[in-house]
Amino acid sequence: MTTIEKPWSGRFTAPTDAFVEAFTASVGFDQRLYAYDIMGSIAHATMLARVGVLTQTECEQIVNGLQSIQQEIESGQLQWSIALEDVHMNIETRLTQKIGVVGKKLHTGRSRNDQVATDVRLYLRHEIDTIIAELNRLLNALIVVAEREAETILPGFTHLQSAQPITFGHHLLAWCEMLLRDKSRLQDCRKRVNTLPLGAAALAGTSYPLDRHYTAELLGFEAVAENSLDAVSDRDFAIEFTSAATLIMMHLSRFSEELVLWSSAQFNFIELSDAFCTGSSIMPQKKNPDVPELVRGKTGRVYGALISLLTLMKSQPLAYNKDNQEDKEPLFDTVDTLKGSLKVYADMIPAMQVNRDIMRKAALQGFTTATDLADYLVRKGVPFRDAHEIVGKAVRYGVENNTHLEAVTLETYKQFSPLIEQDVYNVLSLEGSVAARNVFGGTAPQQVKAAIQRLKAKL
């Protein structure tokens, strides 16, 4: 596309410096907003015709022209121009080339300030819906595995030390709880994203009789921005989304750390599908968990985007400033990174192989049923602190004799407390330990299965 002059060039007597033109242009990255820019412009033109600013014929010409431009963009025919700065001016200029002077009427009653704020909200609203769909897909994948592994026993850890036996299904449901909070935050954020700025114009509103509520209805916005100054300068919604995204990535990073550990030769709790791993260029035996490692690494770039946006806004006076052009790249990168990470996780989890026997053997190490023995003594009338001391001695015996609590003889146990009877072995078994945690939210298979049903109902 060749251009002679910029749509705002009337006040200027000298052309923009070539380097400044390239430095200030945003079309290289904001062209991804084209569909939302066209959507907003069609709604704006429709509203202008409704209030009598445009004739119905002019409106139809504009709408048909914009739809034709969208086809040009999606077929790769439109040549984006840096000289036209951004997605808005590229589309508007092309519209004028196609339909003539009527195209110049489209911008009546609006500014690029409220236009871009509307485009970004439309874009982010759509992306939040897409991300929530990916979250649901991951949640469903986790539920399938959790249901299958509701009775699989592995050690639960604190301080990365064996603590108590738990079920693998219970562990996976802990991940689900994190993701459910993430989903709730996105749903709440979406409500504030879904507010229409269009009609605020540059900063003060407009003298044209716009029907902003009709425009909102056409675009599916639930509310109309109440204050024109705030409407064009607000980027809280982008910061809020990015904040929610950092929490999701933090959760995925924690999942990644566990998958990396569990898939190592030292743990060998799981095996990731070959489709989600790579090999070494020098060590032929290697199977590297690259996907969870990379997701863990990508967390940092989303954290960085949040800091960028917070810093971008921290000193801006009302209303719009050119600084706000810098909001898009961190936002776009956050959306892309988050969507990609969720997608690969939703694909990877169902393909994960669980090594149940190895998990169970690991749960036998580290005296994970020690608390069960203490609880047993408490039920026999021993004060908890005394029970704690007795069990500590039993554990020391196990360490010194290289045996686990379930294998200690009853004769030996009676040396620690005469109250210990044959029934102690019912609570010292791994299965007995997890079954005993039959409380709402506990690790008992019965509770895990009930939690899965509740989770299915939520989804």
Contact yes or no for 167/197 (Cβ under 8 A): no
What is d(CA 375, CA 432) in angstroms, rounded to the nearest whole number?
A: 13
Residue 221, token pair as written in the block = 């916005």
Q: 367, 363, 357: which is closest to 401 by C-alpha?
A: 367
Tell me the CA end-to-end span of the chain in Å, nearest whole number. Answer: 49
Residue 100, token pair as written in the block = 């003539």
3-state SS class at 257: helix
Spell out a b/e string for 321-346, using b for 16 or more CB atoms within 10 Å of the CB, else e.
eeebbebbebbbbbbebbbebbebbb
Which residues are 166's β-sheet partners? 154
Rounded to 5°, the CA angle 265-271-275 comes to 125
Contact yes or no for 328/29 (Cβ under 8 A): yes
What is d(CA 319, CA 375) in angstroms, rounded to the nearest whole number?
A: 64
Which residues are 161's β-sheet partners? 158
What is d(CA 178, CA 245) in angstroms, rounded to the nearest whole number?
A: 13
Which residues are 223's β-sheet partners? 195
Spell out a b/e string for 170-182, using b for 16 or more CB atoms within 10 Å of the CB, else e.
bbbbebbebbbeb
DSSP state of 5: S
What is d(CA 386, CA 390) in angstroms, rounded to the nearest whole number?
A: 6
Going by DSSP bridges, is the β-strand pair 195-196/270-271 parallel, antiparallel, or unpaired?
A: unpaired
Q: Rounded to 5 degrees, what are φ and ψ at 175?
A: -60, -40
What is d(CA 132, CA 317) in angstroms, rounded to the nearest whole number?
A: 34
Strands (E), 68-192: 153-158, 161-167
What is d(CA 433, CA 450) in angstroms, rounded to the nearest whole number?
A: 18
Spell out a b/e string for 60-72, using b for 16 or more CB atoms within 10 Å of the CB, else e.
ebbbebbeebbee
Contacts of 65 (CB under 8 A, 6+ apart): 95, 98, 99, 103
What is d(CA 6, CA 244) in angstroms, rounded to the nearest whole number?
A: 39
What is d(CA 150, CA 75) in angstroms, rounded to the nearest whole number?
A: 50
Would you name the residues annotated as active-site residues? 159, 280
